[in-house]
Amino acid sequence: MREIQFREALREAMSEEMRRDQAVLLMGEEVAEYNGAYKVSQGMLDEFGPERIIDTPIAELGFAGLGVGAAMNGLRPIVEFMTFNFSLVAIDQIINSAAKMLFMSGGQYNVPMVFRGPTGNAGMLSAQHSQNFESWYANTPGLKVVVPSNPYDAKGLLKASIRDNDPVIFMESELMYGDKGEVPEGEYLIPIGKADIKREGTDVTIVSFGKIMKIALEAAQILQQDGISAEVIDLRTVRPIDYEAIVSSVKKTNRLVIVEEAWPLAAISSEITYHVQKHAFDHLDAPIHRVNSYDLPLGYAPTLIEATLPNVKRTVDAVKAVMYR
């Protein structure tokens, strides 16, 4: 297979779906003339034209609402946020319109659309531009939330999201757009709600998703040198969560560490902890440990960022804590 960048995998997914289905369109700030803030949509305006690659004003509430209306009337819009921090301006349309429309219309109106863009820390962007929104949106019935960790998954999951008849929150990372990975030439889809075992192991289960998978996998390599075999699970989607994959792994390894960039209160790691203790309590040989960002806004200085976010050392220490308690 050829190696392509994360941004190229996203572009291929959108372009293939737009060639396949005339109802698919892309709208957002700088997606057309500028080729995308992160060059994800580079060249798409030339191929599909301004009626399907649409530059919008700096008005997230407005163009998110346009997207919801378009989806209710038979189109399949992809709404790009330059960052999900800006989705706070549009959150009324996402939660009160897109997520609830099928229910409130008694099943008359599906809202087949994708809201996509980067989430989480991306370097020295300070507190207002460094938040994680996975658990925010995963808490909303009617939404699906997808967070891929590599180019292969990004392409297959985005294609599946575009074809889905429900609104999908598709979360990326500015720090991943240049990542390279193997992606096949032919078409493929990855089902929403199916986790992936990125590394098999026998002693402890490490669960993560998105760019934090890099930390989980690096920690697993270090632990292997100390004789600890870590099984690493990539959730890929956080609504729905593949609980079966996690519980099955814990029943094999008897220990669980969850690594997540978000703040600890009401996080995805909290939900997984509850579910595992309910469905696999008798299989646990140690308390479940979580590695989250510390419970404070993210600073600007690199030293503050490093001290606040999950990292490899904290992950390794958490695993050793459940191994040698």
Which of these is catalytic: 8, 12, 60, 172?
Answer: 60
3-state secondary structure of 116: strand
Query: Per DSSP, which regions of the chain are E strands?
Result: 2-5, 24-28, 53-55, 76-80, 114-118, 144-146, 168-172, 180-183, 196-199, 204-208, 230-234, 237-239, 256-259, 289-291
- Mark whether 60 is an active-site residue: yes
Token pair of 190 as six digits: 């990855």
Which of these is catalytic: 8, 17, 129, 271?
Answer: 129
Q: Tokens 């690199």 — which residue?
A: 302
Residue 303's Cβ-side half-sphere holds a number of Cα atoms within 13 Å equal to: 0
55 within 8 A of 25, measured Cβ to Cβ: no
Q: Tokens 């203790």 — which residue?
A: 277
204 within 8 A of 322, measured Cβ to Cβ: yes
Q: Tokens 């219309």 — which residue?
A: 105
Closest CA to 231 of 307, 97, 120, 322: 322
Residues near 317 by Cβ (< 8 Å), separated by ≥ 6? none
Q: How many CB atoms lie within 10 A of CB 165?
A: 12
- Mark whether 283 is an active-site residue: no
Residue 259, φ and ψ in degrees, nearest 5:
-115, 125
10 within 8 A of 158, measured Cβ to Cβ: yes
3-state secondary structure of 3: strand
Distance, in Å, from the CA atom of 87 to the CA atom of 29, rounded to the nearest integer, reads 12
List residues with catalytic annotation.
60, 129
